[in-house]
Amino acid sequence: MHDEPAHLPVLLDRVLELFAPALADRDAVLVDTTLGLGGHADALLSAHPALHLIGLDRDPRALERSRTRLARHGERARLVHAVYDQLPGVLAELGLSRVDGVLMDLGVSSMQLDEVERGFAYARDAPLDMRMDASRGITAAEVLNTYPVPELTRILREYGEERFAHRIAKAVAAEREREPFARSERLVRLLYDTVPAPSRRTGGHPAKRTFQALRIEVNGELDTLRAAVPAAIDALAAGGRIVVESYHSLEDRIVKRAFAERASSRTPEGLPVELPGHGPELRLLTRGAEKAGEREIEHNPRASSVRLRAAERIGVAA
C-alpha cells in the first residue's frame, strides 16, 4: 500500500535533511505530532538507529496502520492517541522535559481521504462526518444542519476563504428546512447550483473550499495549531528542531507568526545589550515557506500545496 502516490510522505528528503543535525549519532527523541500512516516516522527511525520516536495521532485508525508499519523498529517507536496540542501532557506522562525534534505534517491524511465513509472527499458520496477522531465531536452534517446563517457564513469565509460564503450559507439554510443534510453528494450538488458558473470555471472545484472549511471547524484545526506550535517550541532542547508542513494559507500564517515571534528579540529598542531571557529563542532554517518541486508534485499530487517551515531552538530558559 505504501507504493501508492497518495501515501508518499511529502518533502521526505528535505525533512530528513533538516532534522539530521539534531538527531545524528546520539540518543535523540523526536515527536511526530501527526503520525498519519507513519511515512516520515519510518524514514526517520531508519535513518537514525539510536532515535526514539513518539508518534501522536487523534485518529485511532491511523495509529493502527502505523503500529504495523513501525513494528520493525520495536520499542524505539511509541504511539499515543492524542491531538497534537496535548503534547505537553503526553511528554509529562512519559517523564520527558525536552525533545530533540518535533514534526507537524498538517491537514487531512491520505488515508482519511481514501476511506470513503469518513466523508472528507467531495468527489465521492459519503456520510458528512469529517471527524479525524470518529469517537468524539460534532460532525459536518451537524454543522450544516444547526449553525445559524451568520456563523456558517463566517466559517466558510474564514476557513474556506470562500467568496460566496453568505450565498452558500443561505442556500444551505433553505435546503435543510426541506430535509437535513446527511451525505456529501447532496451538498456538492447544492454548491454547483449556488456558486456562479464563471467562478466554477476558474476557481477549481466549487466544493473544495466549503469542504475545507467544514473539516477545519469540525476538528478545531486552527485553534489546535495556535496552541500546538508554541507548546512544541517550548518542548525543544537547545539545538532541537521543529519542522512544520502546512497545506493552506491559514495554517501557514499561524506557523509563520509563531516562528517569527520566537525568532525575535524582546529586548526594548535602544538598549545597548540584550536583556537576560529576552533574546531570540529560535533560528529560522528556511527562507520563507519552501514548496515541493515539479517532479515531486507529478508523483505525489498532495505535495502541490505544501508549505514547509523549519526552525532551531537556540535559547532555552532555565
At 216-251, the pLDDT tens digits run: 999 999 999 999 999 999 999 999 999 999 998 999
Spatial contact of 184 and 161, defined as CB atoms under 8 Å apart? no
Higher pLDDT, 207 or 254: 254
Quote the pTM value. 0.86
C-alpha torsion sign, points 115, 120, 121, 127: positive
Spatial contact of 51 and 76, defined as CB atoms under 8 Å apart? yes
Higher pLDDT, 1 or 259: 259
How far is the C-alpha of 242 from the C-alpha of 301, rounded, in Å? Answer: 24
Mean pLDDT value across residues 8-28: 95
pLDDT-derived band at 135 (thresholds 50, 70, 90) equals confident
For the ranges 168-177, 253-262, 270-279, 300-309, which has the lowest average pLDDT?
270-279
The pLDDT of residue 94 is above 70: yes
Residue-range domains of the chain with CATH: 5-111+221-313 (3.40.50.150), 118-219 (1.10.150.170)
* Residues pairing with 77 in the sheet: 53
Termini Cα distance of the chain = 46
pLDDT at 2: 35
The pLDDT of residue 301 is above 90: no
* Residues pairing with 108 in the sheet: none
The pLDDT of residue 181 is above 80: yes
Mean pLDDT value across residues 88-104: 96
Determine the distance from the C-alpha atom of residue 154 to the mean position of all C-alpha atoms in its chain, rounded to a whole number: 21
Mean pLDDT value across residues 135-149: 93
Residues in binding site for S-adenosyl-L-methionine: 38-40, 57, 84, 105, 112
Alpha helices in 49-164 (DSSP H): 60-69, 87-93, 110-114, 140-146, 149-160
Give the percent of the chain with pLDDT over 70.
Answer: 85
Contacts of 306 (CB under 8 A, 6+ apart): 10, 11, 245, 246, 247, 291, 292
pLDDT at 316: 64
pLDDT at 137: 86
pLDDT-derived band at 112 (thresholds 50, 70, 90) equals very low
Integer CA distances (angstroms), 73 to 66, 70, 129, in order: 11, 6, 34
The pLDDT of residue 265 is above 90: no
Mean pLDDT of the chain: 88
3-state helix, strand, coil in the chain (%, to 5): 50, 15, 35
Mean pLDDT value across residues 21-42: 95
Residues in binding site: 38-40, 57, 84, 105, 112
pLDDT at 200: 60
Cell of 102: 518535533
The pLDDT of residue 115 is above 60: no
pLDDT at 166: 97
Please choose, from the candidates 158, 162, 108, 151, the residue with its C-alpha nearest in 3D space to the C-alpha of residue 130.
108
Give me the helix-helix angle, 221-235 and 249-262, nearest 10°.
Answer: 30
